[in-house]
Chains A and B, each alone.
Chain A
């Protein structure tokens, strides 16, 4: 079965610092990869996704992620965070054996200090 690991459970940064959140998955076949963000009290929102093509994916709000197949990784990055980026971030994977099901990582809570 697929598993997704997010190694950082809590991250605290100051504004303007650079961000990288790790995500690793276990399945070695064809996968679709996602990052979701959940702002306090709100629903999950899709930040970006990778299905195929250029492994460097750009999403909303200045976020990007890089798919490295050899490392089974899909790390999320942002060059300069803002206070409004304070939220919980979830990596998710859909593999072609799992039908219409996403496997989520445990999430990373990001706090950006003003």
Chain B
């Protein structure tokens, strides 16, 4: 079991470009979560998705950020027109469902470090 796979590990973008971060959940997991870690801060929840559905996007910035988890393929976190303040580590986690005990089966990826020049 390869675990939660995120790519790329490091992504460098210039201001105004688009960033696309990918997350492949663990085998058998149908729920994906994205968290952002700004420098010297803890992880902050961004969005929770199930296949083809956004369940909770209460932590997503209102503009430029979007996320999807298609029926086939990885979950994508897209940041349009990046700014320096978007520089952060973006972590993905997955779980098999949302039933009681979901957090015990929550596994994190190694993260994508986004640097905006």
Contact = CB atoms under 8 A, between A and B. Distances in A.
Given A43-B111, A44-B108, A94-B103, A106 B45 contact: no
Interface in A47-67: 49, 51
16 contacts: A4-B42, A6-B42, A9-B40, A41-B110, A42-B110, A43-B91, A44-B93, A44-B108, A51-B101, A90-B42, A100-B31, A101-B45, A102-B35, A104-B42, A106-B41, A107-B41
Interface string A4-28: 1010010000000000000000000
Given A43-B3, A44-B91, A107-B42, A100 B104 contact: no
A100 B43 contact: no
Interface in B64-117: 91, 93, 95, 98, 101-104, 106-111
Interface residues of A, number: 26
Interface of A: 4, 6, 9, 32, 34, 36, 41-46, 49, 51, 90, 92, 94, 99-107
Nearest to B92: A43
Contacts of B108: 36, 43-45
| Interface footprint category on B | 20 to 34
Given A44-B108, A100-B56, A100-B98, 20 more contacts: A6-B42, A32-B103, A34-B103, A36-B108, A43-B4, A43-B111, A46-B106, A49-B103, A49-B104, A51-B101, A51-B104, A90-B43, A99-B55, A99-B98, A100-B33, A100-B48, A101-B58, A102-B45, A102-B106, A104-B44
B40 A106 contact: yes
Interface of B: 3-4, 31, 33, 35, 40-45, 48, 55-56, 58-59, 91, 93, 95, 98, 101-104, 106-111
Given A42-B110, A94-B103, A107-B42, A100 B95 contact: yes
A103 B45 contact: yes
Considering residues B40, B93, B103, B107, which has the most beta carbons from chain A within 10 angstroms of its beta carbon? Answer: B103
A46 B40 CA distance: 20
